[in-house]
Structure formats: structure tokens, C-alpha cells
Amino acid sequence: MNQTPVRNVVFDVGRVLFRWDMACLFRQMVAGEDELDFVLGHVVTEEWHFEHDAGRDLGEMVAERKALFPAHAAVIDAYATRFLETIPGPVPGSIELVEQLDAAGVPLFAITNFADEFWDDFRPRHAVFDRFRDIVVSGKERLAKPAPEIFQLAARRFGIDPEASLFIDDNEANVAAATRLGWQVHHFRDAPALQADLARRGLIAA
């Protein structure tokens, strides 16, 4: 059966458009790789951060974590106040693909797991988001990928048909969730592979 032509492209943000690595911040603050591994593996973990992406209150999270790890209060506070230092810049080649799609007239949207206040600080710094018609942010909706509800909310709000839309994400669970809901998907690994897929679909020039 022929696949429905893609009419819309929906991006993830972290690790698709912009690099994200909490070590970029905490390597500045701790002595040695063993301590960095402990901080990232036990204190300020991606799993803990994901709770904030899903809408949990930052002050509550920080107070709870500092009670558990009082010797690491400084890094926990830095997570709350210096989060943008965990985002060192664009993923090589990805912003250029957004520009090509926009120039070709392809409607662009995004669904991102991103904490509310961190997004409000991050978004105005990057003009690439002006090319997007709408962006669903998990922290604002209190829904996070891979929950099916955030994809359903996005499709309604964007006014798009998932079967005619390409969802791009680096996270396998998010890609699988979108697939189950009828979206076309690209499991992102790097910009050259995405460029080849977009060209194959006729969305940008080969």
C-alpha cells in the first residue's frame, strides 16, 4: 500500500535540533569524572529532570533533592538556575534542514519535552522557532512524550492529520508511541540521515 504523502513535519527539539548534555554544566562544577558520573547517575539524573519536563514544580523538586543529597546542593541549585548551559548549541546540520523545509513551504511544528520556565528562557534566544507554526511544550501542557495524549493534543491543536505528518524524534519510545497513533516517523540519529529521508519523501531537493 502506498504511503500517504507527507504534508507536515513535526520536530522534537532536544537532541534533534539542539544538543543537550547535562555534563556540559556539571563538568564545570565537580572535580573529576568519577564525581561527574555520580552527579549524573544519582543526583541530577535525566529521569529526575524528566519529572520537571512533565510539569512537576521546580521548587518542590529542588528542595526534595537537596534534602536527599545535601552535599550536592550547589549542583542542584545550578540545575535550576543555569539549565541553558546544558544546551551547548545546535545539532550539526539540523537547523539548515528546518530552513530548507520552510523555504519549500512545508508546514513546520514541534512537540518537545521541555520544562515550562526553561522553555520560556530558551525560546526567545533562537530565531529558528519563528519558522514553526506552533510548538507543544510538555511542561506547559503537563503532558510528556511518550504519553499518547500529547500526540493527540498536538494533532488537534495543529489541525493536522497524523497519517500525513512526519514526526522526527531521537527517542525510540517516542517514535514507537507516534507510530502506534498513525504518524509517519523518522528515528533521528543525525542530520545527513534525516536529509536523505526528507529528500526521498520529496520534501526537499536531493
Alpha carbon dihedral 19, 23, 28, 33, in 10-degree steps, equals: -140
Answer whether 179's CB lies under 8 Å from 146's CB: no
Entry pTM: 0.96
Query: Could you tell me the residue ranges of all domains in the chain?
Result: 8-19+89-200, 23-86
Give every CB contact of residue 177 below 8 A, 6+ residues apart in sequence.
Answer: 145, 146, 147, 148, 151
In this structure, how many other beta carbons lie within 10 angstroms of the beta carbon of residue 56?
16
pLDDT at 206: 86
Rounded CA-CA distance 171/163 in Å is 20
Per-10-residue mean pLDDT, the chain, length 206: 86 98 97 97 98 97 98 98 98 98 98 97 98 98 98 98 98 98 98 98 95
pLDDT at 71: 97
pLDDT at 138: 98
The DSSP 8-state label assigned to residue 128 in this structure reads G
Q: Where does residue 81 rank: exposed (0-12), middle (13-18), buried (19+ CB within 10 A)?
A: exposed
Which listed CATH number (3.30.300.20, 3.40.640.10, 3.40.50.1000, 1.10.10.2840) goes with 8-19+89-200? Answer: 3.40.50.1000
The residue among 16, 4, 1, 2 whose CA lies nearest residue 194 is: 16
**Helices and strands: H and E segment counts in the chain:** 11, 5
pLDDT at 1: 44
Backbone phi and psi for residue 166, each to the nearest 5 degrees, phi listed first: -105, 120
Q: Where does residue 130 rank: exposed (0-12), middle (13-18), buried (19+ CB within 10 A)?
A: exposed
The residue among 162, 147, 19 whose CA lies nearest residue 92 is: 19
pLDDT at 2: 56
Is the dihedral angle over the CA atoms 157, 162, 164, 168 positive or is it negative? positive
The DSSP 8-state label assigned to residue 49 in this structure reads H
pLDDT at 3: 83
